[in-house]
Amino acid sequence: MTSSLPLNVVILAAGKGTRMKSAVPKVFHAAAGRSLLEWVLAAVEGLAPERLHVVIGPEGEDHLAGLSGMERATVSVQHERKGTGHAVMQAQDALRDALGYTLVLYADTPLVTTQALRAFVDDTMADDADVAMTVFETDHPARYGRVILDPGNRPTAIIEAKDATPEQLAVRLCNGGLMLARSTVLFDLLAQTDDKNAAGEFYITDIVSLARAANLRTRASVFDQSLLAGVNSRAELAAVEGVLQTRLRSALMDAGVTMTAPETVTLCHDTRIGQDTVIEPNVFFGPGVTVGTKCRLRAGSYFEGAQVGEEVIVGPMARLREGTVLDDAVKVGNFVEIKKAHLAPGAKAPHLTYVGDAEVGAKANLGAGTITCNYDGVNKHQTVIGAGAFIGSNSALVAPVSIGDGALVGAGSTITEDIPADAIVTTRGTTKIKPGAAERYRERLRSIKARKDASSKR
């Protein structure tokens, strides 16, 4: 079922996250390459809300720039943290005259999914409820608010744990945190809340009992507790990271990617990998990586901001940095680092090489120890290596420089000027051999050392 009434969304993101022990508010900490707030924004984007509003704390204003999903959102600041109800009230101006329903959720719950949210919204609208909430049952309710139901299994109140009686604390049905209310009644109910509780705060949960007092229809929707996990500490952040990594790995394997040791592979939320690609152990993906089909990503390799074609071999122990583009059938071997470089089809950098700010032609071969010297201490410069060129081992290409198609650079050369196509160039000095000189040299060094030792004993 798809809901027909307009939907608005308020995301509460004003928490400091004191237990994070960080100057950065907790919702801006990242998991799988995306902030906690961005995970929630991505989940609600699939609901296509009419209005989207985010409530932040004053410390969060400097962290909003560039966040994905904020393009359509309006923002308000909760300068005084007086509870969840007070936080939602900060959205009143942005949602004035809003129609349909308003969904309220928290920015520190990155595991919530669009599918689960859609089911919650659809079920609430189908039930014609005025106020709805998510609930779950657990044998370890601990700090969760307890949900009190009437004989018809509709909620009459949510009691925060710190305000609950011993009898209420025995209830195992808990508040899942998500609230959904008709937009026309949400702020009227919030205006009736007070701070007469143990925390001295205005609770959004109080709107349930207020709704019942006004003869409004309430609803409790059972929700998967695992989707509601909040992040309040570094340990909880790590736990959420683990769940997200498992989801991402499973999605790739379901799509036809092989991982020989999936638990050792670290993915990013936007990692894209084609069918029949094999990922060996301990491979790391940062943001902005796309890999084609039938590739082999060997153990210990690192990818960030890289675009990889089909049937490419990378690693082991290779590093592809931002701006790397590898066309089909490229081979990048062990201990190779590539940055802002394009390797055309069939090009090879088998081992121990740095390629930065470069264009490498089709089927060119970069020998072991090849370095593109792209930085002069102030500016970066480009190296162009032609198709079919062969760069001998331990060569330094001092940019800006161009190596023509089919050119051959002798091992150990330092190239500082352009080389024409099909040329052979070497810059090694003349070899001089002095028979027996090594022992004479060592004897001279031993004599110098003996004199120094004798002098030190005087």
- Which domains are seen in the chain, by residue range? 7-228 (3.90.550.10), 234-425 (2.160.10.10)
Average pLDDT on 72-81 reads 94
Residue pair 315/297 in contact (Cβ under 8 Å)? The answer is: yes
- What pLDDT is stored for residue 3 in this prediction? 56
Active-site residue flag, 351 = yes
Share above pLDDT 90 across residues of the chain, in percent, rounded to a whole number: 87
- What pLDDT is stored for residue 232 in this prediction? 92
pLDDT at 2 over 80: no
Higher pLDDT, 335 or 143: 335
Model confidence, pTM: 0.90
Average pLDDT on 182-186 reads 96
Please report which confidence band the pLDDT of residue 194 belongs to, taking 50, 70 and 90 as the band edges: very high
Catalytic residue among 86, 269, 342, 351: 351
- What pLDDT is stored for residue 1 in this prediction? 43
Average pLDDT on 281-301 reads 98
Residue pair 332/315 in contact (Cβ under 8 Å)? The answer is: yes
- What pLDDT is stored for residue 408 in this prediction? 96
Share above pLDDT 70 across residues of the chain, in percent, rounded to a whole number: 99
Average pLDDT on 186-191 reads 96
Which long-range contacts does 206-213 make (Cβ < 8 Å, 24+ apart)? 206/85, 206/158, 207/85, 207/131, 207/179, 207/181, 208/131, 208/133, 208/155, 208/156, 208/157, 208/158, 209/156, 209/157, 209/158, 211/130, 211/131, 211/181, 211/185, 212/155, 212/156, 212/157
pLDDT at 81 over 50: yes
Largest CA distance in the chain: 106
**Which of 165-174, 296-305, 347-356, 392-401 is predicted least confidently?**
165-174
Tokens of 396: 């330094």
pLDDT at 242 over 60: yes
Average per-residue pLDDT in the chain? 94
